[in-house]
Chains A and B, each alone.
Chain A
Amino acid sequence: MSAHAYKKKNPVWDWLTTVDHKKIGILYLASGAFFFLLGGLEAILLRVQLLYPEFDFVGAETFNQLLTMHGTTMIFLAAMPLVFGFMNAIVPLQIGARDVAFPFVNSLGFWLFSLGGVLLNLGWFMGGAPDAGWTGYAPLSTTSPGNGVDFYVLGLQISGIGTLIGGINFLVTIINMRAPGMTFMRMPLFTWSSFITSGLILFAFPALTIGLALLMFDRLFGSQFFAAEAGGNPIIYEHLFWIFGHPEVYILVLPAFGIFSEIIATFARKRLFGYSAMVFATALIGFLGFMVWVHHMFTVGLGPIANSIFAVATMLIAVPTGVKIFNWLFTMWGGKVSFPTANLFAVGFIPSFVLGGMTGVMLSVPPADYQYHDSYFVVAHFHYVIVGGVVFGLFAGMYYWWPKIFGTLLNEFLGKLHFWLFFIGFHLTFFPMHFLGLMGMPRRVYTYLSGQSLDEANFAATIGAFLMGLATIIMLWNIIQTSIKGKKAGNDPWDARTLEWAIASPAPEYNFAQTPLVRGLDAWWLEKRAGNKAMIAAEPLDDIHMPDSSILPLVLSIGLFIAALAAMYSNWVIAIGGLVITAVAMILRSVIDYHGYHIHKEDLPDEGREGK
């Protein structure tokens, strides 16, 4: 079947059917970037509405749809896929694997995510987007008129299944597919944090699945789980949502921590300080992340005992997070730190995130939280954490890994402009929000009356948002320029430390012609310092087995998409038709044997061979 490998494939068909983790990574990155721009546009519209007191720009209903879709899009459709994009593009390379454990599942995860995301956004064109907040609290969500919240419930459900199976895939990949010598305590920090994040996904997403399923029953099938008059209780939804929702924060930020750990060590030209402490701190943050969800619910009225326990648990998270900050600082201490854009974002992240961490500790104090909660103080806090942590991390990762993924270098001048504008705009937007909250401005308000001393800070915040928008446009320009005429990057443009830099940029289809032998932490750095030009091979050169591509993941996802859309309009014939498509795709997958194909060793290019 080897002819298969050399047939010129139709590029569209190739992208729709690919099971190659690098291509799926690019698909995740591209769709994540698209949704990031969409969520950013929504944010700008929100800020324009709040530019002046009693300003009329989009109005109350649209504002609530925008705030709901901004949050939902940024968390589920931008940050999640961008994190998954880097995990896909980089983790198999970092552990010296040829692909992920389940390439088919990987593709399925992507298509479920992306079609769920499309479904979620269809509301804009079909009578109104969801408007109950990204948290979707009942009874507001169960009583919201129209189909808006249905798009939220079903779109997130489908997209969430994609994330869940993606997480399982990475758990298995990292446990089973590591190259010889790549012990757990030699794994790069990005792989470690991807591993822990995948574990968090496995345990956190089912809670969301249940919460959304109950919402679905209440909205579509007339059940009354959250209707107080029928004996239901909406607080159950709040618990389910935050049992998922808090770990979700760590699901996003731990991979960003991993990215920073790679970048800071690389550009300090030093081994990561306190590697094992960093690993244990990451694991501890992941573990404690499940013990603190009630700090989102201090004002729900659960009583002083519950509030106190969760307050102390929340404070504890500051300890491993602090450990990480100090270890990053001491990685740079005594190093030779250079500042390309990737490292600017990493270095800019440290003070920004520390501010977010400070307000995090302040929020863990229930009596003080009775004031902060649901005010702009909280808006300031979580944007410091999610923009200052996650988004800075994703940007840093983009500048750092772009050469490995695409083979070219992003323009450094535009990159630095992007960083400075974004950094200044970010602080200008969110720093004043702390004061807005303390001055009595609740969050999620579409306007504020004049004469409440809220005008200046809101104006400043909107100007900051424009700066971030401008920075993003410059980033886009950079990406377009680089795609057209980017400078070719070598295999290892940053003199980096981990395995992905030992192979060509972009990595060949099969990643490693010969599985490498890993001889320590920072495997590639060790070989370079030992004077080797390539990794030592752990196996003789042989034919490489590759998985077959398949259209079934897309078909399966389209079936669910159709079923969900039809169910919203109670068109049960079409809904069942959609489920039948999904079922047939699953049956086909089960009964057809996929043998894959081989790339013959004679056909491997010379430079693909290692250890020569």
Chain B
Amino acid sequence: MQMKRWRNVWRFLPLLSVIALALTGCGNEQLTAMLPKGEGAEMQFNLMMLSLYIMIGVFVVVALIYTVVLVRFRRRGESDNEIPEQTEGNVVLEILWTVVPIILLLILAVPTVMTTFALDEGTEKVPEGATVIKVTAHQYWWEFEYPDLEVKTSQDLYIPTGERVYFELVSKDVTHSFWVPTLGGKMDTNTATTNKMWLNAQEPGTYYGKCAELCGPSHALMDFKVIAQEKEDFEAWAEKMKEAGSQAASDQAAQGEEIFANSCIGCHAVGSEGGNTGPNLTNFGDREKVAGILDHTDQNIKDWISNPSEFKPGNNMPAFGDQLNDEELDALVVYLQGLKVEE
């Protein structure tokens, strides 16, 4: 009976370890925090590892004592009626398992405090010449403004690599949280206060960003992208964005432009023209995703405009399916797809 019980214990261990192995793949390299590609993410990752190693050490000690106890000090059946010695305790042991953890925690606490301050460095007084980006979170999209470059965009965040880019984060409606795991940890966007942080992407690439604070039904869909480019590419992009405005390359696009001017411009800006309650669409044609989540196809754009709530429940954009006919939608899509600043 007892042996059988033990086999039960071990039976699920290989199962668990296989699962753990399958899962310890480090995830999608544009999203995971376990393959850091930013200065901040790397500092954070190093602390994770330090704390993990210390904790594994503690776990091993506990597991050893635990195993010995479970193997050696079992009661052997009902007939085993020996009453063990009623030990009160042991002062030396109590001191030992109080002092050793304190020492371990000190080893962890010092780099913790240093890194906490290091990550806040420069946010109060941004260094001369650094790129500053104002992030405004909305239900359920992201607005990015480059005050020094006089550029506004949304959903796709362009940053230069190899330098700390400083962010000022606020929210327009409810609390959100701005998170690009591969580049660095998150920071809440509050309604009443402005938060500050920096990210430093070490290599060019596209990284996924998420909203991490529950913000309503479409919280799960509030994705954005970070496009990190070499400094000169970034500057060229910013220059083109500054120049960009409404453009129609064909008659159909011109029809779309007119529809846009009648139905959309109240909320959506292109270039410097238009409202600010919906995402800025200056470089809409460059995006990989519609609304952060759908593949960037003509059909998806049409479907989105017809009924946005079907894709992002609870979002504020009205449905245009009843107001625009198929031909008008097609024209609008052609116009929107033409809004590009990159080749």
Residues of A participating in the B interface, judged by any CB pair closer than 8 Å: 59-61, 64, 131-133, 137, 139-140, 143, 228-229, 232-235, 268-271, 273-277, 299-301, 303-304, 307-308, 311-312, 315-316, 318-319, 322-323, 325-327, 329-330, 332-339, 347, 350-351, 354-355, 358-359, 361-362, 364-371, 373-375, 420, 424, 427-428, 431-432, 435, 438-440, 442-449, 451-454, 456-457, 460, 529
Contact = CB atoms under 8 A, between A and B. Distances in A.
B191 interface: yes
Contact of B33 (A268, A304, A439): A439
Nearest to A329: B65
A61 B314 contact: yes
Contacts of A361: 51, 54-55, 105, 108
A440 B214 contact: no
B7 to A, nearest CB: 12
Contacts of A301: 169, 187-188, 190, 193, 195-196
A374 B186 contact: yes
Nearest to A370: B185
B192 A232 contact: yes
Given A299-B185, A333-B73, A374 B23 contact: no
Nearest to B99: A319
Contact of B190 (A234, A307, A350, A354): A234
Nearest to B94: A277
Contact of A132 (B54, B210, B214): B214
A391 B214 CA distance: 26
A304 B89 contact: no
A131 B87 CA distance: 52
Nearest to B113: A308
A444 B105 contact: no
Interface of B: 5, 8, 12, 15-16, 19-20, 22-28, 31-34, 40-41, 43-45, 47-48, 51-52, 54-56, 58-59, 62-63, 65-66, 68-70, 73-75, 80, 82-90, 93-94, 97-98, 101-102, 105, 108-109, 112-113, 115-117, 119-120, 169, 173-175, 177, 179, 181-182, 184-188, 190-193, 195-196, 208, 210-221, 223, 293, 313-314
Contacts of A337: 69-70, 73-75
Contacts of B19: 428, 431-432, 460
A61 B210 CA distance: 19
A270 B75 contact: no
A316 B109 CA distance: 10
25 contacts: A64-B219, A140-B175, A271-B88, A274-B89, A301-B169, A311-B109, A319-B105, A323-B97, A327-B94, A332-B70, A337-B70, A337-B73, A358-B55, A365-B47, A370-B187, A371-B48, A373-B177, A374-B179, A420-B8, A428-B19, A431-B19, A445-B220, A447-B220, A449-B223, A453-B27
Contacts of B33: 371, 438-440
Nearest to B82: A336
Contacts of B75: 269, 336-338
A322 to B, nearest CB: 5
A448 B220 contact: yes
B181 A440 contact: yes
B63 A351 contact: yes
Nearest to A432: B23
Given A362-B52, A371-B41, A432-B19, A276 B89 contact: yes
A264 to B, nearest CB: 10
A372 to B, nearest CB: 8
B116 A308 contact: yes
Given A269-B84, A299-B186, A374-B186, A322 B101 contact: yes
Nearest to A433: B23
Given A368-B51, A452-B28, A374 B86 contact: no
Given A274-B89, A365-B51, A435-B23, A304 B63 contact: no
A424 B11 CA distance: 10
B175 A351 contact: no
Given A60-B218, A301-B190, A370 B44 contact: yes
B53 to A, nearest CB: 11
Contacts of B65: 326, 329-330, 333
Given A311-B109, A355-B59, 17 more contacts: A60-B314, A61-B314, A133-B214, A137-B174, A143-B174, A271-B88, A274-B94, A301-B190, A335-B73, A336-B84, A361-B105, A366-B116, A367-B44, A368-B44, A373-B212, A440-B33, A454-B28
A332 B218 CA distance: 50
Contacts of B215: 140
B313 A60 contact: yes
B188 A325 contact: no
A226 B182 CA distance: 33
A424 B313 CA distance: 36
Contact of B32 (A300, A338, A373, A453): A453
Given A277-B94, A354-B62, A303 B187 contact: no
A329 B195 CA distance: 46
A371 B56 CA distance: 20
Nearest to A237: B175
Nearest to A132: B214
B300 to A, nearest CB: 14
A60 B217 contact: yes
A300 B12 CA distance: 40
A367 B223 CA distance: 23
B16 A427 contact: yes
A530 B87 CA distance: 17
Contacts of B86: 270-271
Nearest to A435: B23
Nearest to A354: B62
Contacts of B108: 315, 361, 365
A315 B51 CA distance: 11
A424 B52 CA distance: 23
A311 B173 contact: no
Contacts of B87: 270-271, 273, 330, 334
Give the 5 A-B CB pairs with smallest separation, nearest first.
Answer: A370-B185, A439-B27, A445-B220, A301-B195, A274-B89
A270 B73 CA distance: 11
A322 B23 contact: no
A444 B59 contact: no
B281 to A, nearest CB: 22
Given A337-B75, A439-B34, A431 B184 contact: no
Contacts of A319: 98, 101-102, 105
B58 A307 contact: no
A427 B19 CA distance: 11
A431 to B, nearest CB: 7
Contacts of A457: 23
Given A59-B313, A140-B214, A325-B62, A336 B34 contact: no
Nearest to A497: B86
B175 A137 contact: yes
Contacts of A274: 88-90, 93-94
Contacts of B293: 449
A326 B95 CA distance: 11
Contacts of A440: 27-28, 31-33, 179, 181-182, 208, 210
Contacts of B82: 336
Contacts of B173: 139, 143
B51 A362 contact: yes
Most B C-beta atoms less than 10 A away, residue of A131, A332, A424, A442 = A442
A364 B112 CA distance: 9
Contact of B59 (A338, A358, A435): A358
Contacts of A304: 116-117, 119-120
B112 A366 contact: yes
Nearest to B207: A440
A308 B32 CA distance: 26
B175 A234 contact: yes
A102 B221 CA distance: 52
Contact of A371 (B88, B105, B116, B185): B185
Contacts of B102: 319
B311 to A, nearest CB: 10
Nearest to B213: A374
